[in-house]
Amino acid sequence: MTEADRGAYIAGVFEHPRREIPELSTPRIHAEVAFGALADAGLDRSDIDGYLCDGSQNFRPVAFGVLSMAEYLGLECTYLDSTETGGSAPVVQVAHAAAAIAAGKCQAALVTSAGRPRSAPTSFERGSPEGSYEDVWGMSGAVTGYALSAQRHMHEFGTTSAQLAEVKVAASLHAQHNPNAFLRDVVSVEEVLESPMVSSPLHRLDCCVVTDGGGACIVVSGAVARKLSRPCVRVMGAGEAVRHSDLGRLSLTSTAAAVSGPMAFAAAGVSPRDIDYVSLYDSFTITVIETIEDLGFCEKGEGGRFVMDGALVAPHGRLPFNTDGGGMCNNHPGNRGGITKVVEAVRQLRSEAFPAVQVPDCGLALVNGTGGNIGTRMASATLILGRGDA
Amino acid sequence: MTALPVPEVPHLREAEAFWSGIAAGEFLLERCRGCGAVVWYPRGFCPSCGSSDVTLEPASGEGTVYSFSVVHRGAGEYRGCEPYVVAYVELDEGPRILTNVVGGDPDSLVIGARVRMVFERGPDGSALYRFTTV
């Protein structure tokens, strides 16, 4: 096997165009995005020999999600992965697919993610070991955990609500160009600050959208990539890491991206200043601020100041991000948006983003997934992706 | 401010002694006799050194607010109790634990405020530890 053959490439991506899907089941949405990604790659279902999806289907009575789904989709696989890290799971799974391909376990791996919380809201089941100490205090869904992080970040570094709002404003500037975005209206800092407080200091517009939908991507070996006509994107580096409450010694002002980011940069042999575009998980505005710092785009504590003056706005900001409108405005399917982060990075590297937000000569992109809750326990996954000719 | 609910707390069997303590008005912290670590939340072994030689010791019940959020949109049985405070309190023994700060004006709370533990009971015998500002 030559060196080039050990590489892994993203050959196809698909984001479900709808944001409210009352009439379809979650498995059916997985199927639609799977077929969409296959068509984008120019591959057939029979070409797929690896399959990865998270455990959010919550099948009863037996929760063999990935196994049930492989049968449902008619896949014959030699590699399966059902890593469950919440919203970062699809980003983790792209990394796992690339590693499996490098190890010769499979040649073409499908990653799917889907859910329909807009049409069928569900609550998390109690029963985890930590639930007794966390689920009983009236947390406002996931918001309060992130709010606790935001409050502490403000206390330690002087970050302001207006700085957090800049994240939403930048996302809304991008979403206006995306006809599928759930929210397409451009909002101002003032409108974010005047939106109802949900869990201080986070307002309603500091939160991502709740949407049905999903997405998929296909990771292939170099041998498969060379046979395809669509431009492939190289997986140049990956890192993943966990941060949890650590016996009660938790930190609220940094995420596991402080570990996963350097791993990915080292594997790819690049540094933050080389990156042309970033897909940053944006469950809440504070998630983006802390991630920018943890990935080394600015010093710890400077994230709030960094995003002022349009730094995140494509195409000409210092760090153009989430050009589809992100979880903030476009899509956060199944309350877990990792797959949309991968999809938009691939669009940028193929120069297929909406023209108004396409980053000129975009050669190197970073994807960061943040799953779980930065106020308690979380898993980060960072990918460095390069244009096929990179 | 409306009194907050005191929900039943399902827990793992290894935490039975901790929750019995709460029902009796005593907050017991798990400490490892092997490495001395204070283990939060209690689980019957020490994830720091791996020892199963852990003991429950009464805590001071004193601490400082490490971070907090005023919830304006409560969920489940907390709906209608807004605004109320969810906080991380750093116990004087070290661990930062999630809880509510009750009894004061939520808008006047600050990070660093000193707080003291109080026990609240539900009509059905359930019990929770919360904090008030000192």
| Model pLDDT for residues A61-94, shown as the tens digit of each residue | 555 689 889 999 999 999 999 999 999 999 999 9
The pLDDT assigned to A123 comes to 61
Q: Is residue B8 part of a domain?
A: no
Strand, coil or helix: A133 = helix
Residue A28 Rama label (left phi>0; alpha psi -120 to 50; beta): alpha
Greatest alpha-carbon pair distance for chain B in Å reads 46
Q: State yes or no: ipTM above 0.90.
A: yes
CA nearest neighbour of A261 among A283, A286, A290: A290
Cα of B72 to nearest chain A Cα, Å: 5
Q: pLDDT at residue A59 above 70?
A: no
DSSP 8-state code for residue A110? E
The pLDDT assigned to B75 comes to 87
Map tokens 């002087």 to a residue. A158
Residues 6 or more apart from B47 whose CB is under 8 A from it? Answer: A247, B39
Residues of chain B in contact with residue A149, where contact means CB-CB under 8 angstroms, are 67
Report the mean per-residue pLDDT for chain A: 94
What is the CB neighbour count within 10 angstroms for residue B78? 22
Burial class (CB in 10 A: 0-12, 13-18, 19+), B126: middle
Given CATH 3.40.47.10, say whether it is the number of domain A4-116+208-387: yes
B68 in contact with A, Cβ within 8 Å: yes
Residues 6 or more apart from A342 whose CB is under 8 A from it? Answer: A10, A13, A90, A91, A94, A111, A215, A217, A279, A367, A383
Q: In which domain, by residue range, is B73 found? A: 13-133
Kindly compute the dihedral angle of the four CA atoms of residues A186, A192, A196, A200, in this order, to the nearest 10 degrees.
150
pLDDT band of residue B11 (cuts 50, 70, 90) is confident
Residues B14, A220: Cα–Cα separation, whole Å: 46
The pLDDT assigned to A388 comes to 80
For B90, the enclosing helix (H) or strand (E) is strand B84-91
When computed from its CA atoms, the radius of gyration of chain B, rounded to whole angstroms, is 15
B4 in contact with A, Cβ within 8 Å: yes
The pLDDT assigned to A127 comes to 66
Strand, coil or helix: B37 = coil
Cα of B7 to nearest chain A Cα, Å: 7
Mark yes or no for CB contact A200/B70 under 8 Å. Answer: yes
> ∠A248-A252-A257 over CA atoms, to 5°?
110
Residues B18, B24: Cα–Cα separation, whole Å: 10
Q: Is residue B6 part of a domain?
A: no
Residues 6 or more apart from A190 whose CB is under 8 A from it? Answer: none
pLDDT band of residue A390 (cuts 50, 70, 90) is very low
Size of interface A-B (CB pairs under 8 A): 115
Total domain count, chain B = 1
The pLDDT assigned to A1 comes to 40
Mark yes or no for CB contact B78/A138 under 8 Å. Answer: yes
pLDDT in tens, A129-157: 898 999 999 999 899 999 999 999 999 99
Cα A389 to Cα A7, A233, A350, distances in angstroms: 13, 9, 11
Q: Which tokens hold the place of A81?
A: 């992965």
Q: Is residue B3 part of a domain?
A: no
Residues of chain A in contact with residue B99, where contact means CB-CB under 8 angstroms, are 137
